[in-house]
Homo-oligomer: A and B are copies of this chain.
Amino acid sequence: MNIEMIEAAAKRIDGHARRTPLLTSPFVDEIAGRRVFVKPEALQHTGSFKFRGAWSAVSALTDNALKAGVIAFSSGNHAQGVALAAREHGTSAVIVMPADAPQMKIENTRALGAEVVLYDRATEDRDEIGARLATERGLTLIKPFDEPLVIAGQGTVGLEIAEQAAELGANAREVLVCCGGGGLTSGIALALEAKAPELRVRPVEPENFDDVTRSLEAGQIKRNKSLSGSICDAIITPQPGDVTFPILKRLCGSGLVVPEEDCLRAMAVAFARLKVVLEPGGAIALAAALYHGDEIEGDDVIAVASGGNVDAEVFQMALAKYGNDV
């Protein structure tokens, strides 16, 4: 993995992925006690940054591989990204999804033209299912994070942050990134290493699902004890990846661990002050900026808001709890 791969991905996605802005609000700054620059990847096609990595990977396929089609396993956001990227490349996508994924994500993935195969998170192994289908049908597997082409696509978020932070005069030292398997986090870290080395990435995770934070502390890969029971479904993965972890270890600051309740509060803040819809996992870096400022360095801070694919019920709950308290 190197910066040239990210720059090549940026060329491939140019005109296809959206260049999201860096948003600010004086009200957000007041809560955080510093200026906060929010990169709202919820506004990306399919509602999350995952479209970048998916496009990066699909657009790099050979003609024959493209013709045969792609396969992915995903709880939702990667699924939609791959489905749309495949459709826009004129090929087919099979998506292996947990049966308990948010209904909206399953329906959206189907509506984007993909064939959805459901599995039981507790009793079935998605890797095994994915590998079998890929072999049977000659499909190319687009991994959700532990794949250099995908990391390169997500890294384009970092290229944009480097440019936009300079344009806006952000005096930040840290970029907070919602972290699951580490594809987005490692991609941004690599991009910033080359383009804005004064900025350091801090992975942000939910309480009890802090595999990356513990892995960074230990200097070796640690697993989550559980993979269910979090509202931050988009960023719950068993452990950091074999490709992503060495990058995280080399480039990132320590992890930030945030209670889920803070994600709901941050969703209400993004609603009231930025007018952007965030899902719980997509709000966790903003939550860290808002409510855990004493663990952050720098006059300003940058937070990536990675996605907005949230069911209406969960969003209503966040507003009912915190909508009048921001």
Interface residues of A, Cβ cutoff 8 Å to B: 18-19, 21, 23, 25-27, 30, 40, 42-43, 45, 47, 84, 104, 108, 111-112, 268, 271-272, 274-278, 308, 311-313, 315-316, 319-320, 323-324
CB distance from A31 to the nearest CB of B (A): 11
Please name all residues of chain B whose beta carbon is closer than 8 Å to the beta carbon of A104 when the two chains form the complex.
272, 324
- Does the CB pair A26–B84 fall under 8 Å? yes
Cα separation A91 to B235 with both chains bound (whole Å): 45
Partner of A323, one of B21, B45, B111, B313: B313
Partner of A276, one of B43, B268, B320, B323: B43
- Number of copies of chain A assembled together: 2
- Does the CB pair B312–A319 fall under 8 Å? yes
Do A271 and B276 contact each other (CB < 8 Å), given the known contacts A312-B323, A312-B324?
no
11 additional A-B residue pairs with CB within 8 Å, beyond A21-B21, A316-B319: A18-B21, A21-B43, A27-B111, A30-B111, A40-B275, A104-B324, A271-B312, A275-B276, A312-B324, A315-B319, A315-B323
Cα separation A276 to B315 with both chains bound (whole Å): 13
CB distance from A80 to the nearest CB of B (A): 10
Please name all residues of chain B whose beta carbon is closer than 8 Å to the beta carbon of A21 when the two chains form the complex.
18-19, 21, 43
Cα separation A268 to B311 with both chains bound (whole Å): 11
CB distance from A262 to the nearest CB of B (A): 18
Cα separation A27 to B30 with both chains bound (whole Å): 36
CB distance from A18 to the nearest CB of B (A): 7
- Does the CB pair A312–B42 fall under 8 Å? no
Cα separation A70 to B316 with both chains bound (whole Å): 38
Cα separation A268 to B312 with both chains bound (whole Å): 8
- Does the CB pair B316–A320 fall under 8 Å? yes
Cα separation A159 to B161 with both chains bound (whole Å): 26
Pull 29 A–B residue pairs with CB atoms less than 8 Å apart, ordered by A.
A19-B21, A21-B21, A21-B43, A23-B43, A26-B111, A26-B112, A27-B108, A30-B111, A40-B275, A42-B275, A43-B274, A43-B276, A104-B272, A268-B312, A271-B277, A271-B312, A272-B312, A275-B276, A275-B278, A275-B308, A276-B276, A276-B277, A311-B323, A312-B324, A313-B323, A316-B316, A316-B319, A316-B320, A316-B323
